[in-house]
Chain A
C-alpha cells in the first residue's frame, strides 16, 4: 500500500494546475488519460511526477478524442479515471463525453479555458461555457462546477469524483488559464480527515458470473434502433436530472434578494465582482451578487428569486454572453432588466465592474 500523497492537512502555495493534480491524487484517482494542451499541461506534469511514487497510472494518447474514449475505458474497467483539457481539446473531447452521457457513465474532466475560436490564445477566457455545459450532440446530461479559487479547485476536483460516480454522469471542473497558472495559498487535506468518503468505483463490464443468471446484464448503449426506444430512455434521463438538480446545484450570493442591482458572474470573474460589490455596498449602494457554482444544473429557484426581486441584473463574463444565455433561459419571465459587461477572452477587474455598476445605479 503506497503512502497517501496528502496526509492530514497543511497550507501550501501552489499553481492551480498543481492543485488539480494533487486533488485527483487525494481523491484516489487511479489513472489520468490526456493529451497536452496549454493551459492545462502542468496537471499532467505533476500527475506524472507523482504517479510512480503513489502507484497511479498515466496514458498519453494521440489526441483528445482518444483521451476521452480511453477515460471511458478506464471507467468501464472500474478505475477512478479522469482527463484534463482546454480549448480545441475540449471540442474534440465532446464526442467521447457524449458517449458517456448516452451510457450514463461517470467521467471527470478538468477544463482550463483558453481563448477561442480555434487555437486563439493559450492564456485565458470564459469562452468554453457553452461547450462544457451543452457541448454534446443530442441532449445529454452532465454536471459542471465553475471554480474561482485554488481552494475551490482542490475541493471541487475531489467532489467531482464523488458527484460523477454517485449520479453516473460526466462531471466537469471548469477552471481557466488564470486559475491554472496563478499562484495562491490553499489548504490541502486528506479527504478522510474532513469526513469525506470517496464513492466506490466498480467495473461496469467484465464482471464475474453469468449475465441474467448471477447478475444483471451490463448493457451500456449509445445506439438505438428506433425513435421510440430512444425517446423512452431520454425521458428517464430527464426525470433523473430534474430530480438531482436541486440537490447538486450550488451557488454563492450576497444580498441577492434585497438589492436593486444584482451582479451575476461565475468562476474567476466572480472574484472581481465580489470585490466591487463589497466596496460599493460600503458606500451605501443597493447592490448584491449571485454566483452560480454549478453552471449545470443552475440553482434555478434562487436565481429566479433574485431576478424577480432585483430591478436590474448585470451579467459579467470574459465571453460574449455564454453564461448569460444559460441564466436568461433559467430566469425567463422574471421582472428584472438585464444589462451586460462582456469582455471575451480578457480578464475583468473589480474597478471595471464597479464603474459599470455606477452607471446603472446612482
Chain B
C-alpha cells in the first residue's frame, strides 16, 4: 500500500539561514505573518527565533500566545510586564536577548511592531547593518487607508527606510473574499515593480488561500495563514 503525503511546504536549502524582518503600517498584519512564518519554519524542523520588536507597546502584542509558541518549539524573545520597569505600555529598554538576536544560530523572524519607524528600528540590533541573510519585508494590506492605492503604497514603502521585499496581506478581516486578496496582489505587485523589489508572497487565511491556489493572479506564491492574533491583546 502506498501512502501519499500531500505537502505544500516551501523548499528551502537547509544550509541557508533565514532572517526576515517584517515591517509595515500599524495593523497591516506584521505579527500574524511573522508568527505564521516562524511556525512554518519550525514545522519543517528548523530552529527558529521569533523576536517581538514592538517598541511602543512592547508588553502586549504576543504575550497571550507566547507560551503556546514556545511549546511549539520556537524561541520567543518578547518582554513580559513583570520583567520590565514602568507601565508596560511604553517600554524604554530593548530586551538584551533581542539586541543580540541576529547573533543566534538558526532562522530569525523579527516582528517590527507598531510600524512607526519602519526598518530603522532594526538599527537597535547588533549586526543588522551587515547581516547578509537579512531580508526586510514590508507587509502591505491594500484595504488599510494609508496603503489603499498604488500611489499610497509606493509613497508609504518609501518612508520605511530599507525594504527588500513586499508581501501582499490584503484582507478585510472576516469579510475577506478571494477577489479582495487578488486586487491587493495586483496593486502590491505593481508597487514592487515601481520600487524595483520582488514580492515575497501573498498571504491569506487558509480558507481563502485554498480558493486561490498556490499562486495568486500575478504569479506570487500564496502563503496560507492560521489566525493567531485574534487571541492576542492587539
Contact = CB atoms under 8 A, between A and B. Distances in A.
Interface of A: 10-15, 18, 22, 38, 42, 45, 49, 119, 122-123, 181-185, 188
Chain B, interface residues (CB within 8 Å), range: 20 to 34
A179 B141 CA distance: 20
A183 B143 CA distance: 12
A13 B26 contact: no
B233 interface: yes
Given A10-B148, A11-B175, A12-B148, A181 B234 contact: yes
Given A14-B144, A45-B116, A185-B143, 8 more contacts: A13-B27, A13-B141, A13-B171, A38-B90, A183-B27, A185-B172, A185-B174, A185-B175
A184 B57 CA distance: 20
Nearest to B115: A45
Contacts of A182: 234
Interface in B21-38: 26-27
B89 A122 contact: yes
Interface of B: 26-27, 57, 87-90, 116, 141, 143-146, 148, 171-175, 233-234
- 9 closest pairs, A vs B, by CB? A181-B234, A13-B143, A185-B172, A122-B89, A38-B89, A13-B172, A185-B175, A15-B27, A12-B145
B145 A185 contact: no
A45 B57 CA distance: 14
Contacts, number: 51
Nearest to A42: B26
A14 B87 contact: no
A185 B171 CA distance: 9
Which of B88, B145, B171, B174: most chain A Cβ within 10 A? B145
Contact of B144 (A12, A38, A42, A181): A12
Nearest to B171: A13
Contacts of B116: 45
B145 A184 contact: no
B173 A185 contact: yes
B124 to A, nearest CB: 21
Given A13-B171, A13-B172, A42-B26, A122 B87 contact: yes
A54 to B, nearest CB: 13
17 contacts: A11-B143, A13-B143, A13-B144, A13-B172, A14-B144, A15-B26, A18-B26, A38-B57, A38-B89, A42-B26, A122-B89, A181-B234, A182-B234, A183-B27, A183-B173, A185-B174, A185-B175
A38 B56 CA distance: 11
A188 B26 contact: no
